[in-house]
Amino acid sequence: MSKPSLVVGVPKEIKNNENRVALTPGGAGMLQMSGHRVLVEAGAGIGSGFSDEDYRQEGATILGFAADVWAQSDMIMKVKEPLPAEYGYFKEGQMLFTYLHLAAAHDLASQLLEKKVTGIAYETIQLPNGSLPLLTPMSEVAGRMSVQIGAHYLEKFYGGRGILLGGVPGVPPADVIILGGGIVGTNAAKMALGLGANVVIIERSADRMRALDDIFGGHLRTLMSNPYNITSAVQKADLLIGAVLIPGARAPRLVTSAMVQSMKPGAVIVDVAVDQGGSIETIDRVTTHSDPTYEKFGVLHYAVANMPGAVPRTSTLALTNVTLPYALELANKGFTQALAENYTLQLGVNTYKGSVTHPAVAEALGMPYTKLSDLS
């Protein structure tokens, strides 16, 4: 029996200032060598430094319009979730392989269900050890960026307190409070400590706190996540970073409006969890790279949902390093066989045949959950 041949489409990202692309020319070449056809929208790779000619040299076909890419493809590879302007392209049975973040996107979920799109979310593909291999590289980028961004907005010109993150001899450094000690929080801590800040990570797992203490050799403090500790820490923060994630689910609201009101004037909040709804109550809207911040209670809020899009070359290379093997598996084996042989990939399926097939996503959306095996 010959392996299935697939048409893989790569449209240009249309989210505000999103310069990443879902597939590098090298990745397109690997799919082509495996017997598949790759369609790339003209200009899709420009923001990441890849020309249309780079894709052509690897055998990909360049199409001028997104509508044609979507219409002719069996599987669409993207970086960010589709926006309303793209909903009309959806077609029944088409695989959509991208970050979906459906827990905070009810309208998108409804459209995927109505059109019976097979939605495979990067962020819910999960290994047996609980790690999220397709989320990890972007969490590393976003965690490191969160400190760069926070240091930038702490400058007086941008509305911040006018303090240097690391201080100088005779002047204390800034207090950086990080909610969550996972990939984002750990990478944020590396950057903040490297710049000389005082760092506290608030974490709910005692085992993870022990691991963080070993990783950082006691150079930061850890606190158990509870309302008392969060309230006390937030009040002292110059920079507060939200780095909490529950796979597929809406981020828990850990910081209340009252806590934010207690913060120092000119303090900065960077909520990396905003694409899952945010973990801070006053993060009540998503911002963009072109208009990234707003002020509330005298505190500057940064709520951009596609932070890694600001460093697209690094981000695209890091992302495609981990997504391409799964894309090849789906293309080479076909959806049914690929999932039958890889439980990790099964966990990525959020929507299938008009049903929500991930329990955390269903709970967050208030929709019925259907086991994937019941739809086979």
305 assigned binding-site residue: yes
206 annotated as a binding-site residue: no
Length of the chain as a residue count: 376
Q: Check whether 245 is labelled as a binding-site residue.
A: yes
Query: Active site includes 107?
Result: no
Q: Is 260 annotated as a binding residue?
A: no
**Does residue 120 contact residue 95 with C-beta atoms inside 8 Å?**
yes
Q: How many CB atoms sit inside 10 A of residue 128's CB?
A: 7
Please indicate if the annotation marks 238 as binding a ligand: no
The answer to whether 56 is a known ligand-binding residue is: no
Angle, CA 90 vertex, CA 84 and CA 91 arms, to 5°: 165
Q: Is 221 known to sit in a ligand binding site?
A: no
Distances (CA, A) of 332 to 65, 275, 319, 363: 26, 31, 20, 33
Asked whether residue 304 is marked as a ligand-binding residue, the answer is yes
State the Cα–Cα distance between residues 363 and 81, nearest whole angstrom. 19
Catalytic one of 36, 74, 101, 358? 101
AA letter at 66: A
101 as an active site residue: the answer is: yes
274 is in an annotated binding site: yes
Q: Which amino acid is it at 50?
A: F
Find the catalytic residue in 175, 238, 271, 275.
275
Tell me how far apart the alpha carbons of residues 327 and 138 are, in angstroms, rounded to a whole number.
17
Work out the number of other CB atoms within 10 angstroms of the CB of residue 56: 14
The answer on whether 139 is annotated among ligand-binding residues is yes
Write out the two tokens for 26.
């090298």
- Using the Cα atoms of residue 192, residue 197, residue 201 and residue 206 in order, give the sign of their dihedral: positive
Is 356 among the annotated ligand-binding positions? Answer: no
Beta strands in the chain (DSSP E): 7-10, 37-41, 61-63, 75-77, 95-98, 118-121, 175-179, 198-203, 221-224, 239-242, 268-271, 293-296, 299-302, 349-352, 355-356
171 is in an annotated binding site: no
Q: Per the annotation, does 38 bind a ligand? A: no
Q: Characterize the bridge pairing of strands 293-296 and 299-302.
A: antiparallel
**42 is an annotated ligand-binding site residue:** no
Structure-derived torsion over alpha carbons of residues 129, 133, 134, 135, reported in degrees to the nearest 10 = 70
- In angstroms, the CA 41 to CA 60 distance is 10
**Residue 275 counted as an annotated binding residue:** yes
At residue 8, the 3 state secondary structure works out as strand
Q: Which residues are annotated as a binding site for Mg(2+)?
A: 329
Active site positions, annotated: 101, 275
Q: Which residue ranges are tagged as binding site for NAD(+)?
A: 139, 208, 225, 244-245, 272-275, 285, 304-307
Residue positions forming the annotated binding site for substrate: 20, 80
Which segments are annotated as binding site?
20, 80, 139, 208, 225, 244-245, 272-275, 285, 304-307, 329
